[in-house]
Amino acid sequence: MTQGAPGKTRQKNLSTPKAAGLAGVVFAVLLAAAMVLARMALPEGAGGDQVAVAPGRQGQLRWATELVPFAGIAFLWFMGALREHTGDAEDRFIATVFLGSGLVFVACLFCAVAAAGTVLDAEDPTGFGRHFAYTLLTTYGMRMAAVFVLATSTLGRKLGVFPRPLVMIGTLAGLLLLVVGSSLPWSELVFPAWAMLLSLYILRAARRTP
């Protein structure tokens, strides 16, 4: 029994990065697909004289609302696996910001897609649901995503588990989402792109682990 414990510990340490990498890839693909579909289906702006959903795009918006819950679940798995991988060595302050920003991001994501869903279900849709969904996602959700990216990059730098170029990319991505995310069209795709890049690095590093 004394020989089994170290083996279980090694197996856990090896499997956690792989779980984080796989969950991150799933999250990035699902969120990017949902964002693209939503952007194509919902016209920009909040004017009341605009249609709520672009003609012939109702199916795309419905697909987006179906994908987002699974993206949120994958993100929670991704976040939990990353936090488990850092273990007791994590900085408590940064880890709290990491956890809080991630949870608030998921909450904003779910609320935004719920607001977008009301546009589909309303018999006489107006611009309010569209504007509310855009504001919640691009103004609040993406800023929470920016804090999550910055906190993750800081943890990776302090623990030495991320290379310097990846930390710099994360810092730039976080600052971009934080400062100009709400005013730059399609900038929300920066977050899933960063998650994909980080996940591929984690999977590559896990494969190299002897």
Max Cα distance, the chain (Å): 72
Q: Catalogue the long-range contacts made by 47-56 (C-beta closer than 8 Å, 24 or more residues apart).
A: 47/127, 48/126, 48/127, 50/127, 51/125, 52/119, 52/122, 52/125, 52/126, 52/127, 52/129, 52/130, 53/119, 53/120, 53/125, 53/130
- Rg of the chain taking only CA atoms, in angstroms: 19
For tokens 């995503």, name the residue: 145
Q: Residues 138-162: what's their mean pLDDT?
A: 89
Instruction: Give me the helices (H) in 42-141, please.
Output: 58-86, 92-121, 127-134
Over residues 20-72, the pLDDT tens digits come to 788 899 999 999 998 888 777 765 544 444 545 555 567 777 888 889 999 99
Quick check: 164 pLDDT over 80?
yes
Q: Which amino acid is at 159?
A: L
Over residues 101-136, the pLDDT tens digits come to 999 999 999 988 888 777 666 555 556 666 777 788
Over residues 167-203, the pLDDT tens digits come to 999 999 999 999 887 677 788 899 999 999 998 988 8
For tokens 């976080």, name the residue: 174
